[in-house]
Amino acid sequence: MSETKMVKLLIDGQEVTVPDGTLVVEAAKQLGTQIPVYCYHPKMDPVGLCRICLVEIEKAPKLQIACSTRVTEGMVVRTMSPKVAEARRGVLEFLLLNHPLDCPICDKGGECDLQDFTMEYGPGASRLTEPKLHKPKRVDLGPTIVLDEERCILCRRCTRFDNEIAQERNLVVVERGHNSLIGTIDGGDYESYFSGNTTEICPVGALTSKAYRFRARPWDLSHADSVCTQCSVGCNYRVDARFGNIMRTFTRENSDVDGGWICDRGRYTFNYLYEPARLREPLVRRDGDLERASFAEAVALTAEKLGAAAAAGRAGVIGGGRLSDEEAFALQLFARKVLGTNNIDHRARLQRYASPARFGARLRDLDDADLILMFGAITPEQAPILDLRIRRAVARNAAHLVFVGPFKPDLAVPFHYVEYATGAIGDLMEALADALKRGAQPQGAFAIDLARNLNEASKIVAVHNGRNPVAASALEQLIETLLAVGKRGGILVVGSQGNARGAEAVGCVPNLGPGYAPLANAGMTTAEMLTAAANGKLDALFIAGANPALTFPDGALARKALESVPFLAVAEQVMTETAAYANVVFAAASQFEKRGHVTNLEGRRQAFAQAVEAPIYVATDAAIVSALASALNKPDVLDDDPDWLFSRLQAVEQAAKPAEPLARPKLDPSVTAHGDNLDAQRKTFTVVPVPKLYAGGGPSLHDPGLAPMRPQARASFHEDDALLLGIAQDRVVTLTGPNGSITVAANVGTSAAVGTVLVTADMPEAPVNRLLDASGRGRVTVTPAPLRKEALA
Amino acid sequence: MTPERLARGHELVARYPRPQSALVPFLQYCQEQDGYVTLQAMRDAAELVGITPGEVESIASFYTLLFKAPAGKHIVQVCRTLSCMLRGAEDLQAYIKRRLGIGHLETSADGQYYYEEVECLAACDRAPCLQHNLEYHYDVTPASFDKLLDSWQASAPAPAMPAE
Amino acid sequence: MINPIKAAVGIVVGLATTLKYLFQKKSTIDYPREPYPHPERFRGVHELRKYDDGMERCIGCELCAVACPANAITVIGAENDPAKPVSPGERYGYRYEIDMLRCIFCGWCEEACPTDAIVLTPRFDIADFTRQRLVFGKDKLVVRDPYTQHLANTESAVETDPGVASGQ
């Protein structure tokens, strides 16, 4: 990088040295001098709309706006002169002309920039005697936001966010002059995965969130610095609670991780805690029904059955991805030291690796990457905040984005789409790595294209979904090759669960201990455990924070296993499809009700604080396993104290001797690296599960805040196939595989490849895993449901 | 999008270095055909020039001469800025509203007249000024307005918008 | 040695004083049969007033709660159902509680209230047998009859325009 020139300037008589090109407002910030701003936001381009930031600059004939004026050598800036004060007073008087006196009922009241700056710089009274301009109040702007047009001061932060940061450009200013309004086309809904951020950056109370509407005032709230665990990005946020109930979440900027934004799934997923579906006490199955029981009873029963099964070597533990690092560590201690088995696996989904073995990248690396390769990972749905970085890199730095996968996803920025069946990606990557190494010409138009892109790019980041082992190692080879020729690059693996990488790192895999230390005898993987259970070879299963009945690719196997295992204990926050099969259900604390650490997809371990107390009969997962350990006469192995667990974990990790390169988690024997060939006759269709941000069981299913955004389970066909099958948009179809069938409404378009059908994943009402086998492949026949008479008429 | 509209759109896009520049001319063209800028026209325009429908709405709603609801064939705009007001525009406005039976930004029930009070029409020397479709009428009084109205009823209205 | 004459005089003077007060106006009152004559600005039990149209004045803004030096007030706001609003505007006080045992009757809540909803009335006799019953909720605080509020507090009954609260 070229050396940035530094310039020296005087702000209010104080000297400050900043890089050339810095904005005056930012330079003042370094001195701790606050210049009021409304339209300016550090993450967005300056526009100079609101004029509140006027400052006096020597030799400039008029006051200048600090938010768009860049510093120059020897500049003399005054931010507190009488002239500036007068200008601010004037600007505020104008801003307040039509601003309603809503402060007592406004959700922003108490943390409102307009309120604060008016108190600090504004005039005491308005000279306006005419009636104020009236605009619509309580405008329903979509599933998450209420807009009060009267309060809006037209700073356009929200529209610029939607334009510059989210790159979606649906929220705009309509009309003009004093009639300007914030809106969408034809008053439609503002639907975005990031809509909640606009409520936060709104300097007034114009955009307010429905979830928080009139529930508290800012001074009522207690704050806890937490980390979102809805996906594997690990955005930092603050959880605000009142009377021990969570009221809202608020960003807590960590530029290395979230860049100051959070997605709506993360922001609004907390109200499930107060729903009837929330488990508030342990349940024990008596005479076929799950009934309320005491914690002691649940522990005694589980310890007895699990202990007996473990003594016979017929016990297994599944889960870890929802837990904190400490708890995942406790879970594997419980499995290995208490139950004496290596049958522990956090992977209850298609994902097989939660981390790259080599060349791990950082999220920051996406910012200056000039080629981003997305391999199967649908980042807007699986890691939205990571996707924001990609959007910015593509839109701002003209990074080249290539998506390689079995269907064309809906991305906000232009990308190059390469259709490749999931399994076949590995072959492609091997060929490419070969081509780069030897300079051989790769086969196929796309491969040639990609090879050229790879040659031109200087920094390459690959985003992988960790599903295909061949693709994973081929990617590593590719990056190795690129690094060898002096390029930079790395790999990010998007985790399937919030703490998938943490669970992997602390040893919730059958063949690796904490710190990726290889173990002599590997235990069983999830698939093996479920197969064993289904065949009567396992006596007891303990599942903590996993929902294999819904998410395990081979749903038929998972359900059979859960049904036939003699004893099943599940620790969950809400009733899930898996918990419904259990003999004992423990009510587990949510991430808001405990403290600890989680590891995000780049391997960053972040601490989170406890925001609220758990209901009285709800225990943390660590408390559950340590109670079980005590009941099994091994009280010394475990403790439920997160600090104790964390110091133990650190000690164990430091002592661990990981293989170089890292040993990979054990694969199921059934996993095949290579894809399924499409049925050329198109009698059967290959099923491709498609992740959706708001899909899923458990919390996201029961959260009332997410309910309006919840997708419908859909099957998408390519239009050619739809024609062949005689399916129109919204026609209900039944997809039948060898082990089961689901009935969903159809989408017709071009996102699905010919011969495939895209099915929304993780929808309890139409579980796609009825159609798949353990390695995630499945073929179905499609039968359109008969049209009803009224539909024909 | 009808094929002819699409063809016209492509023609307009080809005229400028950036496709976005063709947006307003295209909307004018659509308005000429439909009488106003329909929602479909905005969606078509978005597709044509490669921006989102929201952005089209933002631009379309900015221009007061792009109508977002059906407007009358005769568009009557009376200046309400200082010079005209001093020269009796207020009385004229009241008279016209009474005569046409409609208010500011309204269209008469028969779809003939659309009335709007606008800012300065740049004819202060001959205030009060009135714009009817593309024509200016100067020194308008209630009496002369009656005459104008008769003449408009007698003849077909001139185009409401400048050709793009 | 006690002087018997002096003593007798003392008794007579003392009884004379007694006799004098016997015929004067009594300074005690026959409480509770007789009302306690409170000063004009006496600050007693709170009351949540209504507008004349029956709408509650309280908008649930919690400014009284934040002004309260004794932390005696708890307010939870909620959104008005536009079809059946409780107060003008969008927000109303869904729950409003004052812990009368904690309250120091300073009147700051009254000062803070932007809609003159909460006022301190001259009523003071709220003794009860449980602490629980001395946490007054909306059932005890809201004036039932919109017309009695003028009697209860003569000050500023209608000085605030209802439009202020609704932002109209």
- A105 contact residues in C (CB cutoff 8 A): 59-61, 77, 89-91, 165
Q: Is pLDDT at A664 greater than 90 in this prediction?
A: no
Structure tokens at A534: 């289904």
Q: Please enumerate in sequence order all residues whose Cβ is within 8 A of that of A754, keeping only pairs 6 or more positions apart, or say none.
A: A678, A682, A718, A720, A721
Range with top average pLDDT, A477-486, A557-566, A748-757: A557-566
Rg over alpha carbons for chain A, rounded to the nearest Å, is 28
Q: What is the DSSP string of A689-702?
A: EE--TT--STHHHH
A577-586, A761-770, C148-157: which range is least confident on average? C148-157
Contact B54 A175 (CB under 8 A): no
Q: Please enumerate in sequence order all residues whose Cβ is within 8 A of that of A319, keeping only pairs 6 or more positions apart, or say none.
A: A331, A346, A348, A503, A508, A542, A543, A544, A545, A546, A571
Residue C104 domain-assigned (yes or no): yes
Q: Give the DSSP letter of residue C115.
A: T
Give the bridge partners for A231, in sequence order: none
Q: Please give the residue of chain A at the shortest CA–CA distance from B67.
A: A175
**A447 three-class SS:** helix
Burial category of A660 from C-beta neighbours within 10 Å (exposed 0-12, middle 13-18, buried 19 and up): exposed
**Is B27's Cβ below 8 Å from some Cβ in A?**
no
Query: In terms of domains, do A290 and A270 share one?
Result: no
Contact C167 A100 (CB under 8 A): yes
Structure tokens at A451: 């090879």
Whether chain B lies against chain A with 3 or more Cβ pairs closer than 8 A is yes
Tens of pLDDT, residues A264-292: 999 999 999 999 999 999 999 999 899 99
Number of domains in chain A: 5
CA distance C91 to C38: 35
Residue A92 domain-assigned (yes or no): no
Residue with tokens 């930031």: A53
Tens of pLDDT, residues A464-484: 988 888 778 888 888 888 888
pLDDT band at A673 (very low <50, low <70, confident <90, very high): low
Residue A344 domain-assigned (yes or no): yes
- A137 contact residues in C (CB cutoff 8 A): 90, 167
Return the pLDDT at A10: 93
CA distance A572 to A348: 14
CA distance A310 to B23: 72
- A183 contact residues in B (CB cutoff 8 A): 57
Residue C22 domain-assigned (yes or no): no
Q: Please give the residue of chain C at the shortest CA–CA distance from A138.
A: C90
**A156 three-class SS:** coil
Q: Which CATH class is domain B74-154?
A: alpha beta
CA distance A173 to A193: 20
- For chain C, give the longest Cα–Cα distance: 91
% helix / strand / coil in chain C, to the nearest 5? 25, 15, 55
Residue A440 domain-assigned (yes or no): yes
Contact B62 A172 (CB under 8 A): no
Q: Please give the residue of chain B at the shortest CA–CA distance from A180.
A: B62
**pTM, full prediction:** 0.89
Amino acid, single-letter form, for residue B86 = L
Query: In terms of domains, do A563 and A703 share one?
Result: no
Residue A391 domain-assigned (yes or no): yes
Q: Please give the residue of chain A at the shortest CA–CA distance from B46.
A: A185
B89-99 average pLDDT score: 92
H/E element, C148? helix C148-152
Tens of pLDDT, residues A200-212: 999 999 999 999 9
Residue in C60, C66, C79 nearest the CB of A219: C66
- A176 contact residues in B (CB cutoff 8 A): 61-62, 64
CA A580 to chain CA centroid, Å, is: 27
Give yes or no for a contact between C102 and C76, defined as CB atoms under 8 angstroms apart.
no
Residue in B43, B55, B64 nearest the CB of A172: B55
Query: In terms of domains, do A250 and A387 share one?
Result: no
- For chain B, give the longest Cα–Cα distance: 51
Residue C41 domain-assigned (yes or no): no
Tens of pLDDT, residues A385-395: 999 999 999 99
Amino acid, single-letter form, for residue B81 = T
CA distance C108 to B47: 60
Task: Give per-residue burial for A30-65: e unless 16+ CB within 10 Å, then b.
Answer: eeebebbbbbbbebbebbebbbbbbbbbeeeeebbb
Return the pLDDT at C166: 40
Tens of pLDDT, residues C28-60: 888 888 887 888 888 999 999 888 888 899 999
Residue A76 domain-assigned (yes or no): yes
Query: Residue A395: which of A96, A695, A163 has the closest Cα?
Result: A163
Whether chain C lies against chain B with 3 or more Cβ pairs closer than 8 A is no
In angstroms, the first-to-last Cα distance of chain A is 68
- C79 contact residues in A (CB cutoff 8 A): 213-214
Residues of A with CB under 8 A from a CB of B: 168-176, 183-186
Q: What percent of chain A has pLDDT over 70?
A: 94
H/E element, A82? helix A82-97
Query: In terms of domains, do A631 and A729 share one?
Result: no
A171-198 average pLDDT score: 90
**Is A105's Cβ below 8 Å from some Cβ in C?**
yes
Query: In terms of domains, do A59 and A108 share one?
Result: no
- C109 contact residues in A (CB cutoff 8 A): none
Complex ipTM value:
0.85
Give yes or no for a contact between A147 and A189, defined as CB atoms under 8 angstroms apart.
no
Q: Please give the residue of chain A at the shortest CA–CA distance from C80.
A: A214
Query: In terms of domains, do A50 and A153 share one?
Result: no
Amino acid, single-letter form, for residue C62 = E
Residues of C with CB under 8 A from a CB of A: 59-63, 66, 76-79, 89-91, 114-115, 164-165, 167-168
Q: Which of A459, A493, A527 corresponds to the end of one domain?
A: A493
Residue C119's domain is classified under what CATH number?
Answer: 3.30.70.3270
Residue A37 domain-assigned (yes or no): yes
Q: What superfamily would CATH give domain B3-62?
A: NADH-quinone oxidoreductase subunit E (1.10.10.1590)
CA distance A696 to A711: 10
Return the pLDDT at C167: 38
Q: For chain C, which chains pass the contact test of at least 3 CB pairs under 8 Å?
A: A
Query: Residue A701: which of A525, A535, A574 has the closest Cα?
Result: A574
**Is B39's Cβ below 8 Å from some Cβ in A?**
yes
Query: In terms of domains, do A558 and A480 share one?
Result: no
Residue with tokens 């939660």: A354
Residue C8 domain-assigned (yes or no): no
Tens of pLDDT, residues C118-131: 999 888 888 889 99
Distances in whole angstroms, Cα of residue A539 to Cα of each of A331, A426, A495, A527: 19, 38, 30, 16
Residue A690's domain is classified under what CATH number?
Answer: 2.40.40.20
Query: Residue A155: which of A246, A5, A52, A285 has the closest Cα?
Result: A52
Give yes or no for a contact between A161 and A154, defined as CB atoms under 8 angstroms apart.
no
CA C76 to chain CA centroid, Å, is: 21
Contact A185 B51 (CB under 8 A): no
